[in-house]
Each structure stands twice: as structure tokens, then as C-alpha cells.
Chains A and B, each alone.
Chain A
């Protein structure tokens, strides 16, 4: 493992599998009456959020607290690109307080990379989403969810997603989730297909390690998992697509479309869902939809990442691993 987690593309297959396996161990902790590990006692983690995201911040905070870390929450809403206190000043202030890790969410692509590489601070940096660039813990929790559902909770340990067919649908252009998932799923051996109207695919996507299609219906029967990405209504005003109705008709997942998927295939959504736009309530509430599980798994994944970045080489949950090896 590297010292920071900036991009899903930085993870090797073995790194990624180690994180997924460690997350399974962490998940067992969540099943205990006392959900806490002493692993990061005395270590301080700051959640530095320049962009509003209660879901992601709470998930990281839960993970940090379950590892017994001291947690500082810093929210600097709206100050991402505005003048005033800069990212550098904020980071250095936190460093002066003796922070061991910075979990950063920022509206500007590359801000976590700058933080990790500019010599501003020494702490480990975890990217909790930067602009339209990367959101690596989201990709990890998605892969974790896929492995559990498609390979098996115990059967999946030590394994990747070799040969699984994953389809991502929606606003690829503006999505850090899509970029992270394409990188990680490729590393884990999955076959990825992106489905979107051409306006919501970046120029240059042809070099990505995945297939691209404009047609959802023909892709569904060949998918083991279909991940729907949120489409913001305001994209409509910038002429990315004509109307909400037309988008739903062409790229939304409803019950009829879901029926075209293989029986074992799952429906995923990183949330928050726009019901009626990219997903109907019927699909969102069906037991094939893993949206709620993804939230649960997010905590385990973030525990695993923080543990591996900060906890060193000590096993996280000693008996969990040894009992497995017996």
C-alpha cells in the first residue's frame, strides 16, 4: 500500500484485494455487540470537507470512531475556489494540531493530489472525492458489494472480480464515481461497459479500459451488475439531454428493463438516488438493489483503508483472521 489513497488507479490488484479482505474482517466487528477496535487509539484523523456531503462524511466518521481514532470535522463549505483561506493554509493549520491523516473532499479535481505531493503537510491523505476526478473509497465499497453478491462473502476472500460484467449508466462525464470504478474494476479483472448519451461521455473516453455503448437495452442481458449514476437535473439546462422524460425513457432503469437482466444480476446506486429519473421506485426498493448495503459496506471499506494506511502491519482483527486460517 502507498502512503496515501488518492486515485483508484494507484491500487494494484493485490492492494485492492487486501483492502476488500480487510473490510470483510472489519464487517465482522460491526456484527459484534461492541463495534469498536482499539487500532487507531491516540491517532487523529480530520475530515476536511470543502464540499457538502453528509453521507460520505458520516461514513468516514463512523469508520474512524470504530477504530478509536480522535476525529476532527472541518467543513469549509463553498470556499473551494473562492479567495480567502487557501487549501494550503487550512491544511497547515490542521497539521500544526498534530493530525495523522486528512480525509479530504474538495470540489476541485486534483486538490487531494496537491495536498499529498506539494510538501505542505506530512499526514496521510485519503481522497473522499475530488471534483470530477476520483472517489476511490466509493469504488472500493462498490467492488466489495459486487464481490459479496456475485462471488460470495467467504468464497470471495482473496479473490477479484475476474470476468464479471459490470455496466455503469448515466452521467459519466461529470462522475468521479465512474472514473474510480472504471480504474478499479479493470484492475480487478472485470469487464466494464459505460452506457450514456454521447453528450455525457468525455472526449477521450475511447482510451479508457472499458467498452462504451449508447444503448442500455442491448447491454442489460450481458450484465452481472448495473450501476446507475445520479443525473443532476441542471444538466438538462446545459443541453446535455432534452428533457427528464426523454432521459428516463432512454437510460432510466424501470421494472421492465430490470427483467432483461440475468436473474443473479444486481442493481447498484452510489446515492443519493433521483427516483423517477435514473431509477424507478420499483427498482430502487427491490431486493436486487444494493443501495442500502453499499452504505453499510462503505463503513467497512473506510475502516480498512484507514487501518491499512495508519495502522501499519499489525493484523486488524487478530482472531478473525486466525479463525479463518484454521
Chain B
């Protein structure tokens, strides 16, 4: 393979340096590196990050190829600066067997835009009743280590306890979608001032917080680690903070949309704002940002959830829940965390690459930008400002809540093991 010299890039936002890629590996990092025999990319002060890692992506294949496929989803990922995504298990059929996770894993390898690590279902058919063959999925070619019934909560305390215990045998982790089902029957949006006015079924914060409280205590009791998906309330932050202070092995993620948007947007009844967990209040948004800055929340995960147009072009109650996020995540994090002074770019690399790779045990990802490391890299033009235009998305779906909104930053280049997947903002 050929050599690439990235000249004058602010590595993790630091002083400009040159980074030489040789084949699949970073050969050298320094100043005034020789361009001899290398293709040169003038970074011109852009920020260079390790390739982003998303622990929570819905690629929809198999089963809902009308909204996304592994190929279109990984193209969207490369556009957003990702080199590795974890594909959620709520496909049709559900990824609850070695066969399905291997299929998704193989499709990811064939796509070539981004590594795809399948997540296995915790229970058969996501039904919360019977453990799926977690060991078989781990031993499959897909090598699953993260298990989740995402979209549904593992609500039965005994099943959750067993799952937490069982995956210890191969150092797996259960990622919980925390939603107490009885408290959220018919729920349409965050329960509070806005839901009271709009007459939409309320989704109380306690439905999330009570499950998180239970699960951190279960994890402590059985000595397992647990990961909390898309934490969305100030109260959840307090519980995770308490659990960590107690030494419980818990990690947590927040989505970009929960860092930026509030339930006030639901006043438009536009289902593009309908998502699970729901958009919360300003107070929650500020608590989530603070928690991501101080490390209580470990990572940003997109919960990229593509839906076809007709599933959002309808009345609120009939609409599907979810938003696409891969192609806007970094911009939202720049807006909410970097430009507010809460995180520097090294912090962004930590929350969007290093830590998610560590939680998901993604080898070769989330590594330092230094000689000898795999060349999984993302180059970001942080000076750029532009309006979000879903027509330009690589994703098959357009259900973004940011259409027309001005956001900072743009990923211009992505390299997956030295191979460019995105050049000057265009997919290769």
C-alpha cells in the first residue's frame, strides 16, 4: 500500500504536526516530515482525531433495508468520521443467534467503509423472557462482546441479573435500554409541563432512573460490569455518579440529540423530534453536558435510527421513534461541548473514540495517534459552519432533527486502516 502524508494537522487539537501513514499503519508523527513517495493531504490546521467509534448504531439490515443497509449505514458512518460502529440487535430477524450476527459482521467486512461489530440480543427475540445463546454469539466469527435488547428494556430483574452474571465468563457487557415498561405504556414524550399542555402520553424520568438504579445495584451484587444506553435525565446522571463513587463497574452513554434538543420542540408535533428515550428538559440537557465533561457519562453514542420518510410524515402518535445521527454527531458535540468550553478536542477523542472502543473491546480502534498504531483517523474542519442538508446524507434515511440548522465543523477525511473512505467530504 501507498504512503499518505497528512501535513499540518492539529493532532487532538494540539500544535500542527505531520502524520505519515504507511499502508495500514501510522509510520511517523512529527514536524517537517518528508513527503517523499507519499500522497500529501494538506490539513491546513484541521483537527486530527482517532477514527470515531459508535457503540450504538441501528443499521437495520437484515429486515428493514428500506431505511438502511449495512452498506449505506457504513457510508454514513465514514461521512461522519467513524471507523467502527456497533450494530444493534433489533433487526428482522433479531440478532439473537450466531447466524445473524455473523451475517451482519460479514456484510460489514464487505462494505469496506467502516468496521461493523454486531451487538447480540440479550434475550430471544428481544422478548425479555429467555436468554439468547450469548456464548455462541461470542464464539462466532463476529466475536460478540456487547449484548443489548435495545429498543426494549431487559425489565425482568432476574433475567437481567442472569445476563450480567453469564457474560462474565467471556468478559462481555450488557448494554441496558433503561425503560420501565409499565410506567411508559402509551408514552409519547417526556412527562412534564409540555406533555401536560400537548395532551401527549407522558414518559416519566423515573421510568429510566428506576431501572438504572436497579441495574447498578445488580451489577454491584454480582460483580459484573453494566453499560447504560442513551442516558437522558439529570436524575440518571446522579445515580450513575453515585454508583461510580461506590466503585460499581458502570459505564454510560449520551446521544448527541440529548445534548442539544429539548421537549419544547415537540410543540411542533413534528415527529422528527420523536425519539426513545424522549427529548427532555433544558435542565436535563445541561446536566448531561456536565456529566459528559466530568466523566460521569463515559461516551457519546449516536443511537442512529433510520426511518423511511412515510414513518415520519404523519401524525405524532403514528410516527416511528428515532433519529439519524452518524453524519451530524461530531458537529453537535462540537457545538454543545467544545464551543461551550466543556471539552477540548482530546476530550472529544476520548469520549467518541477511545472510551467507546474500550467498552466494546474494539481492537485497533480508539488508539493514540502515534507511530505504530493502526491508521484509523478522522480529519475535521472545525472552522466550517453550515446548515444541515439531509439531501446530502449518505444514509438511506433523512429523519434528522437538524434540517436547516447551522452547526459547526465538518469531517473532510476518514481513513480506515490507511485506506481513505472519505476525501474532501466525499465518499471514496
Contacts and interface: CB of A to CB of B under 8 A. Distances in A.
Contacts of A80: 315, 317-318
A186 interface: no
A110 B202 contact: no
Interface in A100-120: 106-111, 113-114, 117-118
Contact of B199 (A117, A118, A179): A179
Contacts of B198: 109-110, 133
Given A113-B269, A203-B191, A86 B196 contact: no
B318 to A, nearest CB: 5
Contacts of B318: 80-81, 86-87, 108
Contacts of A205: 196
Nearest to A202: B196
Contacts of A87: 314-315, 318
Contacts, number: 80
Interface string B180-202: 00000000100111111111101
A107 B315 CA distance: 10
A68 B259 CA distance: 54
Nearest to B188: A109
Given A108-B316, A110-B269, A134 B199 contact: yes
A88 interface: yes
Given A114-B269, A204-B191, A207-B193, A109 B314 contact: no
Choose among B199, B269, B314, B318 the residue with the greatest number of A CB atoms under 10 Å from its CB: B199
A110 B315 contact: yes
B191 A108 contact: no
Given A132-B199, A203-B202, A204-B197, A108 B192 contact: no
Contact of B196 (A88, A117, A204): A204
A246 to B, nearest CB: 23
Contacts of A202: 195-196, 202
B313 interface: yes
A203 B281 CA distance: 14
A114 B204 contact: no
A204 B194 contact: yes
A27 to B, nearest CB: 30
B193 to A, nearest CB: 4
B310 interface: yes
A240 interface: no
A88 B271 CA distance: 14
A109 B191 contact: no
Interface in A57-81: 80-81
Contacts of B310: 86
Nearest to B310: A86
A71 B66 CA distance: 40
A114 B195 CA distance: 17
A268 B315 CA distance: 32
Contacts of A81: 315, 317-318
A205 B318 CA distance: 26
Interface string B313-325: 1111110000000
Q: Chain B: interface residue count, which band?
A: 20 to 34
A130 B318 CA distance: 14
Interface string A150-193: 00000000000000000000000000100100000000000000
Contacts of A133: 198-200
Interface in A205-244: 205, 207-208
A111 B196 CA distance: 17
Nearest to B194: A204
A81 B199 CA distance: 16
A6 to B, nearest CB: 10
Given A108-B318, A111-B315, A113-B269, A203 B199 contact: no
A86 B312 CA distance: 11
A109 B200 contact: yes
B202 A88 contact: no
A79 B318 CA distance: 10
Nearest to A79: B318
Nearest to A183: B197
A198 interface: no
A311 interface: no
A208 B317 CA distance: 24
Contacts of B315: 80-81, 87, 106, 108, 110-111, 114
Interface string A258-283: 00000000000000000000000000
A88 B314 CA distance: 7
Choose among B198, B310, B315 the residue with the greatest number of A CB atoms under 10 Å from its CB: B315
Contacts of B188: 109
Contacts of A111: 315-317
B194 A131 contact: no
Contacts of A107: 317
Contacts of A179: 197, 199
B314 A86 contact: yes
Contacts of B193: 204, 207
Nearest to B185: A238
Contacts of B191: 203-204
B196 A131 contact: no
A86 B269 CA distance: 16
Interface of B: 188, 191-200, 202, 204, 268-270, 310, 313-318
Interface of A: 80-81, 86-88, 106-111, 113-114, 117-118, 130-134, 176, 179, 202-205, 207-208
25 contacts: A80-B315, A81-B317, A86-B310, A86-B313, A87-B318, A106-B315, A108-B315, A108-B316, A109-B188, A109-B198, A110-B198, A114-B270, A114-B316, A117-B268, A118-B313, A179-B197, A203-B192, A203-B204, A204-B191, A204-B194, A204-B195, A204-B196, A204-B197, A208-B196, A208-B197
Which 10 A-B pairs give the minimum distances between C-beta atoms? A204-B196, A110-B269, A133-B199, A108-B317, A132-B199, A202-B196, A204-B193, A109-B199, A111-B315, A108-B315
Given A81-B315, A130-B199, A179-B199, 15 more contacts: A80-B315, A81-B317, A86-B310, A88-B314, A107-B317, A109-B198, A109-B199, A114-B270, A133-B198, A203-B195, A203-B202, A204-B194, A205-B196, A207-B193, A208-B197
